[in-house]
Chains A and B, each alone.
Chain A
Amino acid sequence: MISEYFPVLLFLAVAAVIGIALLVLGNVLGPKKAVAEKLAPYECGFEAFEDARMRFDVRYYLVAILFILFDLEVAFLIPWAVVFEDVGLPALVAMGIFLLILTVGFIYEWKKGALEWE
């Protein structure tokens, strides 16, 4: 029973070795030229420390929402594809309807200009 988990143990060991090796190699071989931005905790285009009440572009939200929508679509599609042979034609039709509704939403966002950055 426990022996069945041997591949998992192996996976953990390999992951640990690779993870540690990459960190060590980076530390030993990498050039170290410290500047303030490099030492900051996050490099995402924002100042690391500033007033919490600041403005930023609402388009970030828009992109994030659109991303989640299409992300979820994939989350639906993958389990469907896995059991596709068992569920047969009705499931194909059901997924077609789902994608049709999603396409309507896609046409809407495209036409409204949600995909234009400028």
Chain B
Amino acid sequence: MTEFNTRDLVTILPELVFLGSIGAILIVDLFIKPSQRIVTHVLSILALAVTAGFVWSAAPAERVTAFGGMFVVDMIATTLKLAVLLTTALALVYGRHYMQERKLLVGEFYLLILFATLGMLLLVSAGNLVTAYLGLELLALSSYALVALNRDSAIAAEAAIKYFVLGALASGMLLYGMSMVYGATGTLDLARIVAATPDVQHPNLLAVGVVFIVVGVAFKLGAVPFHMWLPDVYHGAPTAVTTFIGSAPKLAAFGLAYRLLEDGLGGMSPHWSQMLAILAVLSLAVGNLFAIAQTNLKRMLAYSTISHVGFLLLGFVGATPAGYAAAMFYAVAYALTAVVAFGMIALLARAGFEADEIDDFKGLNQRSPWYAAVMATIMFSLAGVPPLFGFFAKLLVLKSAVDAGYLWLAIVAIVFAIVGLFYYLRVVKVMYFDDAIEGGTLVLPADRPLRWVLSVNGIALLGLGFASGPLFAWCNRAFGL
């Protein structure tokens, strides 16, 4: 039996603090009136901030493991955790007004998001297949329930069922792959799996395991051809929930892919990099082409997510630290952009009006030049127009793919990025050049934090574009470059 070690608890302290806070918030929320839900809101954001403080101050200079290698804290985990906590806090700020107007602002909205966040923190720190699966399921189960939060809505229920069934299927695939890997290497520990890879007795068994793990990861990322759940879930879920699901879990999915494929199956990279290259091409093609046909902005952003996943995978195909650093930069940039894009829909929505059709943005410039400008910034950033944040993210993954010898893949990505420009620019066009639909008056919510934080986040996409050098240097350092 491994001896109990107090240092292990120190390593996992941010997560313990977070879990304790969630328990406290759960109890507090039970004993307050629905009209006082602001208490839960403030406490939740406070819990995220305090946890971020602990993650930051407890960040070790080098890789530290706890509980016999089950839990890993390194700079990659720290970076992803900080980004996850920030994005989740933003999603909470953007979602409050939307949920309140629809009488959906229940304590469970906060608690499920917090539990999902705890799952993500665990996931990005996984040093063992069991820890990875545990974190993944905590994230996934909370997300299924979040999508179904508006239980009177037929499309929300449909989305939740689809999400649950396909998510369970994906988890099954992943588990099956994990069992194969365990069968081939005889260990669940990621570091030992990678050490055992060169001299396994049955390389074919390991290869089959890799295939299933790639399928499971692709499901969770939403890469084509495992993307079917994504548009329905993004569309069917309440916008506030989409804001969360569409942003922070992408960071966690990057963490999952990195931990499993590189930390655990790095020795099998010639196998999985081919698969990821195909997934990337399909995601870029399907995501960008199908997004053109959408009239609903949430669905369009869902297909845009799929294409962004394609870009994210470009960083993986080379299986080099430089590629992972670029992919991590991409994941952070995408999460910070997606959260504000969905937040914008939540901002314009009001009781009985979802504001999720592209036509709902017609003439936004006449009604509110400021928010039209913010929305245009977001769209340009998603499209990858210089000098915005999204441009540098795209540039870096493309560069990493070219450096890794995947020139053809980079060319495909650029072609589809240009195709993608069309539908992002269409949103900008309807805002600036079309007349508002009659009767479509703009009523902005009085929720000041929502308006201010959203504006800052939108403008930050420009600022972060200029500041992307230090950020990328940070990502490079995380991967030891």
Interface residues of A (CB under 8 A from B): 87, 90, 100-101, 104, 107-108, 111-112
Contacts and interface: CB of A to CB of B under 8 A. Distances in A.
B30 A90 contact: no
Interface of B: 1, 4, 19, 23, 26-27, 30-31
13 contacts: A90-B4, A100-B23, A101-B19, A101-B23, A104-B23, A104-B26, A104-B27, A107-B27, A107-B30, A108-B30, A111-B30, A111-B31, A112-B30
Nearest to B30: A111
Nearest to B5: A90
A108 B352 CA distance: 32
> Quick one: which of A90, A100, A108 has the most chain B CB within 10 A?
A108
Q: What is the predominant secondary structure among interface residues of chain A facing chain B? A: helix
A114 to B, nearest CB: 12
Given A104-B26, A104-B27, 14 more contacts: A87-B1, A90-B4, A100-B23, A101-B19, A101-B23, A104-B23, A107-B27, A107-B30, A108-B26, A108-B27, A108-B30, A111-B30, A111-B31, A112-B30
Contacts of A104: 23, 26-27
A68 to B, nearest CB: 14
Contacts of B4: 90
B288 to A, nearest CB: 41
Nearest to B19: A101
B417 to A, nearest CB: 47
A104 B28 CA distance: 11
A95 to B, nearest CB: 13
A100 B16 CA distance: 13
A37 B27 CA distance: 47
Contacts of B1: 87
A90 B30 CA distance: 31
Contacts of B19: 101
A84 to B, nearest CB: 14
Contacts of B26: 104, 108
A100 B19 CA distance: 12
A32 B26 CA distance: 56
A101 B31 CA distance: 18
A7 B313 CA distance: 61
A104 B19 CA distance: 12
Contacts of A107: 27, 30
Contacts of A111: 30-31
A104 B20 CA distance: 10
Contacts of A101: 19, 23
A84 B30 CA distance: 35
B157 to A, nearest CB: 13
Nearest to B23: A104
A111 B108 CA distance: 13
Nearest to A101: B23
Contacts of A112: 30
A90 B6 CA distance: 10
Smallest CB-CB A-B distances: 10 pairs: A90-B4, A111-B30, A104-B23, A108-B26, A104-B26, A108-B30, A107-B27, A104-B27, A101-B23, A107-B30
Nearest to A94: B4
A111 B374 CA distance: 43
Contacts of B27: 104, 107-108
B476 to A, nearest CB: 39
Contacts of A108: 26-27, 30
A69 B391 CA distance: 49
A90 B23 CA distance: 22
A67 to B, nearest CB: 19
A93 B21 CA distance: 19
Nearest to A86: B1
A90 B2 CA distance: 12
A101 to B, nearest CB: 7
A100 B30 CA distance: 17
A63 to B, nearest CB: 19
A66 B59 CA distance: 39
A42 B1 CA distance: 48
Nearest to B4: A90
B446 to A, nearest CB: 31
Contacts of B31: 111
A87 B19 CA distance: 25
A85 B26 CA distance: 34
A87 B2 CA distance: 11
